[in-house]
Structure 1
Amino acid sequence: MSVLSFENVHISQEGIPTLTDISLTVEAGEFYYLIGKSGSGKSTFFKSIFGELVIDSGAAQVAGYDLVTIKNQDIPYLRRKLGFVFQDFQLLTDRNVERNLAFVLEATGHKDQTEIKTRIEAVLEQVGMSNAIHKRVHKLSGGEQQRIAIARALLNNPVLILADEPTGHLDPEVSIEIMDLFKQLTLQGTSIIMASHDYHTIQRVPGKILKCEGGNIVPVNSL
């Protein structure tokens, strides 16, 4: 089964048609850039994937859930199969790295403290930040904070990560390091859709490209 499958999907935001006739499929381990001007529908697309916006018509499936028929009580379970990475990291700056990650696991129903610690150590090793487990978030560089944010996204073993401008606040060298990390994750089977205006990074780190334009999302071969 595909990680994501949209077929002739129409989506509105606040009653206004925003995306029309969207058809695309994302398989396990695929990496997509999502480009397009502000207001072109990128955020609408992401919101529909994690169940914040309803599907007006068409067929839509994500991580084994039918987005057309999904019940409100099932949306939290859908979101546990997704990871989210943001431009501004959205870490809790008054806590250390371990407490940032433990907060997410506890909030999603994990109670065994030994299991929580083991999972935290595993994702930090995955992103090359094992030595930061006890550090305060505000003491970390921007690149280090984004690595922690990616570790947070990995905690519940997501099949798909949605990344919204994750290199927007990083310098070019650090941006490439983060992109290399994303590429490693896709090799392990995690799919990634990354919204980006960072065309320099897109050119240096190739991936499949989707473009939001004119109310549609279409694959493009080049920028």
Structure 2
Amino acid sequence: MSVLTFENVTISQEGIPTLTDVSLSVSEGEFYYLIGKSGSGKSTFFKSIFGELPIDSGNAQVAGFDLINIKNKDIPYLRRKLGFVFQDFQLLTDRNVERNLAFVLEATGHQDKAEIKSRIEAVLDQVGMANSIHKRVHKLSGGEQQRIAIARALLNKPVLILADEPTGHLDPEVSLEIMDLFRQLTLKGTSIIMASHDYHTIQRVPGKILKCEGGTITPVSSL
């Protein structure tokens, strides 16, 4: 089943076409690297997926939503179907792990405290951080913080995770641990698109590749 389909898509920023004629499909459980130079349009692509930038033309479906005709009131529901992982973690360092994750669930409409606690425990177990639920974020290593960030991305059971340079601040050994975690998630059906300049990791951890170059995005067979 496809979780993302773009057909002849054009996306503009401030009235200027940034990406044109983008056609690609991502199926359930697939893992893609998104590569390309800075300024090539990777961020534009991600922003279009979660509804921050409108699609100018073409057909675009993500997680069951039509991005061409989506209404502003429906964008929050689209985003609940997506997970986001950032290079710099973007955790609330003045709180513990549990409060970081509870904040996200509460912000997306969850109110039942027992349900919130159960969901937090489940995602922490998924990323191997069950024993860190009460730890303060600033006391965790970079790799541990990224695992918590991935747990946060999993809270609303997304069909697609967008990861923006998630290994950029991690040493090679920890990077491979994070990549192994991503692969485990795809085996359970979650699709992942990971923007990366980390070619060492790309060569060691197989995945399909999308290349952002020349104002469009195309699948490529190798670097």
What CA distance in whole angstroms lies between the structure 2 residues aligned with 1:205 and 1:13?
33
Moved over 2 A (4+): none
Q: Deviations over 1:40-89 (max 9, x none)?
A: 00000000000000000000000000000000000000000000000000
Equivalent residue, structure 1, for 2:10: 10
Equivalent residue, structure 2, for 1:119: 119
RMSD: 0.4
Which secondary structure state, in structure 2, belongs to the residue aligned with residue 135 of structure 1?
coil
Equivalent residue, structure 2, for 1:82: 82
1:181 counterpart = 2:181: yes
Equivalent residue, structure 2, for 1:139: 139
Equivalent residue, structure 1, for 2:192: 192
Gaps of 5+ in 1: none
Equivalent residue, structure 1, for 2:102: 102
Which secondary structure state, in structure 1, belongs to the residue aligned with residue 168 of structure 2?
coil
Which secondary structure state, in structure 1, belongs to the residue aligned with residue 51 of structure 2?
coil
What CA distance in whole angstroms lies between the structure 2 residues aligned with 1:103 and 1:50?
20
Gaps of 5+ in 2: none
> What's the TM-score once normalised by structure 1's chain length?
1.00
Alpha-carbon shift at residue 14 of structure 1 (Å): 1.1
Which secondary structure state, in structure 2, belongs to the residue aligned with residue 138 of structure 1?
helix
Alpha-carbon shift at residue 221 of structure 1 (Å): 1.0
1:44 counterpart = 2:54: no
Alpha-carbon shift at residue 2 of structure 1 (Å): 1.1
Equivalent residue, structure 2, for 1:34: 34
1:93 counterpart = 2:93: yes
1:170 counterpart = 2:180: no
Report the identity percentage.
Answer: 88
AA matched with 2:194: M
Count the aligned residue pairs.
223
